[in-house]
Chains A and B, each alone.
Chain A
Amino acid sequence: MRRLILGILGCGLLLGVWYLAVDVLALGRFGSLPPLAEVLTEWTSHEPAYGTSLFTHNYYADIWISVRRVLEAFVLAVVLGVPLGLAIGWSRRFRELTFPVLELIRPIPILAWVPLAILMFPRGEQPVIFLTFLSAFFVMTLNTLLGVQSVDRDLVRAARSLGASPRDVLRTVIMPGALPYVTTGMKIAIGVSWFSLVAGEMVAGQSGLGYLINSSYATVRYPTIVIGMLTLGIVGFATSAAIGALTGRLAPHRTRAAAA
């Protein structure tokens, strides 16, 4: 309860500072930003001056297309990244073959991939989803690998001495042992997905919240920029919370031990 009240108070403080600095005092450079009152009026207007509000169809279309892209890319990253991380962690030979490649590609910023993404996928959804996928994929692969490496070697030995085959060990020791790192990876991955999505939509998209922000700047619809930003914050927070709730169910021994 106290957490909720303080949380709301913190958000209120931010809006208060914004209102004071922009609307009331127009302090220096803050003066050129969209005022709070104008943004709120626009956001809640039935007939928004710049065409985007809670009551327009295109607002929800942009949210939906961004959410869909993030989820598609995220699911793809988990489905491909987790098995790859398991394989790299499990097989020494495979690790020696692939890990250097991974470490060389991973530091390349996602924006540097934009031209290749457009060359490879000239149209539509694909370049944006590819960019979003790529960043989440590295997070998932690497976190799964770390998870495999975090498993106590004596747990593997204990399982073997209880009669488990190497394949049993992978299924009953390595996979559950790596799970905490995988779920942490998922929480990080959903965050970087939004980051790359907006970058992708700004340079290669024709729709979505990133595109809305960028095109509003180009067409001088400044309050719409802020509406897009705040919406990204809310939707991003909601997806992270959903992933957190989902992954929390996967490890009952952790939540119970924490409660004890």
Chain B
Amino acid sequence: MNAASLQIEDVAKSYRNQSGELVALSSCSIEIAPEELHVIVGPSGCGKTTLLNAVAGFQGIDGGLIRLGGETLCTAERPAEPGADRVVVFQHSTLFPWRTVLDNVTYGPVIQGRRSRAEARSLARERLSQAGLAGLEDRYPAELSSGAQRRVEIVRALVNEPRVLLLDEPFRGMDQITRDLMHEALLELYDRARPTVLFITHDIEEAVFLGSRVTAMSARPGRVKATIEIDLPRPREAGLRASARFNELLADVLSLVHDEASRAFVAGDREAA
């Protein structure tokens, strides 16, 4: 398949504002294997979204190197352009409100000229029905529940067969029940297509339930604190959350993140995205 490795090597990024320089990322290195679902978890302000934006090509970096499938994707001198090999799913819905579900899903393949409209449509129908979204093809996004919108958006991303799928806190703000269902829906899509995934969140339980590996980041400056292997078998189901191993891993990640969060909390740092 298309799944590629993603290597983040020694990446640095700072922002300037009135009060001086804010170091968002400093010597940040992460290696993600092909077909891995890698979760980065950390408190607000740890630079995890900055990192994702750099991979997506929305923002440049000040130092270091990012490689995709072994090839240089971006450096400080040469920022990446956004592209369909690195599709992003955002915190809030970015489905095009004036396009039906079907036309949203076909957007990528058609605009890239990779498929004819008819081909893209039949592919989109197939993928939507695999995701349990059959029958919604002709609805507009505003006519769907937030959970269905999210799933359509993930299908819209995967239909491009990206080399890495970038998920930026996609289930933030959902209620617990919906979110648990979304986790299972995402894992089902993941197990089917096996893309490389970079998933960003500040929810530790979400990180452990979804991830093949979880990287905890520290804030100010954003740096990798540790990466933990999540040795839970796939496919993963809801019952897993009650298992002893799940809770052990949860405690491990929690202790890593908690130290950092409380340090920032005591220092009174203003939260930044």
Measuring CB to CB, which residues of chain A are less than 8 angstroms from any residue of chain B? 152, 154-155, 157-164, 168, 172-173, 176-177, 179, 251-253, 256-257, 260
| CB <8 Å contact, A163 and B111 | yes
Measuring CB to CB, which residues of chain B are less than 8 angstroms from any residue of chain A? 56-58, 82-84, 86-88, 90, 92, 94, 96-99, 107-108, 111-112, 140, 142-143, 156-157, 160, 166
| CB <8 Å contact, A257 and B84 | no
- Give the residue among A158, A251, A252 with the most B Cβ atoms within 10 A: A158
Find chain B residues with CB under 8 A from A154 CB.
Answer: 90, 92, 94
22 contacts between A and B (CB under 8 A): A152-B94, A154-B92, A157-B58, A157-B88, A157-B90, A160-B57, A160-B82, A161-B84, A161-B86, A161-B87, A161-B166, A162-B156, A162-B160, A163-B111, A164-B107, A172-B107, A176-B98, A177-B98, A179-B98, A253-B97, A256-B140, A257-B140
| CB <8 Å contact, B142 and A163 | no
- Give the residue among B88, B157, B160 with the most A Cβ atoms within 10 A: B88
| CB <8 Å contact, A161 and B111 | no
Find chain B residues with CB under 8 A from A163 CB.
Answer: 83-84, 108, 111-112, 160
| CB <8 Å contact, B112 and A161 | no
Find chain A residues with CB under 8 A from B88 CB.
Answer: 157-158, 161
| CB <8 Å contact, B87 and A162 | yes
Identify 13 new A-B residue pairs, CB closer than 8 A, beyond the known A157-B82, A168-B111. Answer: A154-B92, A157-B56, A157-B88, A158-B88, A158-B94, A160-B57, A162-B87, A163-B84, A173-B96, A251-B98, A253-B98, A256-B143, A257-B140
**In the complex the two chains form, what is the Cα distance from A117 to B51 in whole Å?**
57
**In the complex the two chains form, what is the Cα distance from A75 to B98 in whole Å?**
25
| CB <8 Å contact, A176 and B83 | no
Find chain B residues with CB under 8 A from A177 CB.
Answer: 98
Within the complex, the shortest CB–CB distance from B181 to chain A, in Å, comes to: 23
Find chain B residues with CB under 8 A from A173 CB.
Answer: 96
**In the complex the two chains form, what is the Cα distance from A157 to B90 in whole Å?**
10
**In the complex the two chains form, what is the Cα distance from A162 to B109 in whole Å?**
8
- Give the residue among B92, B96, B157 with the most A Cβ atoms within 10 A: B96
Find chain A residues with CB under 8 A from B142 CB.
Answer: 253, 257, 260
Within the complex, the shortest CB–CB distance from B190 to chain A, in Å, comes to: 19
**In the complex the two chains form, what is the Cα distance from A253 to B99 in whole Å?**
8
- Give the residue among B58, B156, B160 with the most A Cβ atoms within 10 A: B58
| CB <8 Å contact, B143 and A257 | yes
**In the complex the two chains form, what is the Cα distance from A172 to B160 in whole Å?**
18
Query: Which residue on A lies nearest to B83, using beta carbons?
Result: A163
Find chain B residues with CB under 8 A from A257 CB.
Answer: 140, 142-143
Find chain A residues with CB under 8 A from B86 CB.
Answer: 161
Find chain B residues with CB under 8 A from A251 CB.
Answer: 98
Within the complex, the shortest CB–CB distance from A180 to chain B, in Å, comes to: 9
Find chain A residues with CB under 8 A from B97 CB.
Answer: 253
| CB <8 Å contact, A253 and B111 | no
Query: Which residue on B lies nearest to A160, using beta carbons?
Result: B82
Find chain B residues with CB under 8 A from A159 CB.
Answer: 96, 107, 111
Find chain A residues with CB under 8 A from B83 CB.
Answer: 160-161, 163
**In the complex the two chains form, what is the Cα distance from A158 to B108 in whole Å?**
10
Find chain A residues with CB under 8 A from B96 CB.
Answer: 155, 159, 172-173, 176
Find chain B residues with CB under 8 A from A164 CB.
Answer: 107, 111
Within the complex, the shortest CB–CB distance from B83 to chain A, in Å, comes to: 6
Find chain B residues with CB under 8 A from A168 CB.
Answer: 111
Query: Which residue on A lies nearest to B140, using beta carbons?
Result: A253
Find chain B residues with CB under 8 A from A158 CB.
Answer: 88, 90, 94
Query: Which residue on B lies nearest to A165, using beta carbons?
Result: B111
**In the complex the two chains form, what is the Cα distance from A164 to B99 in whole Å?**
15
Within the complex, the shortest CB–CB distance from A154 to chain B, in Å, comes to: 5
Within the complex, the shortest CB–CB distance from B11 to chain A, in Å, comes to: 19
Within the complex, the shortest CB–CB distance from B142 to chain A, in Å, comes to: 4
List 9 tightest A-B contacts by C-beta distance, closest first.
A163-B84, A158-B94, A160-B82, A162-B108, A163-B112, A257-B142, A253-B140, A161-B88, A176-B98
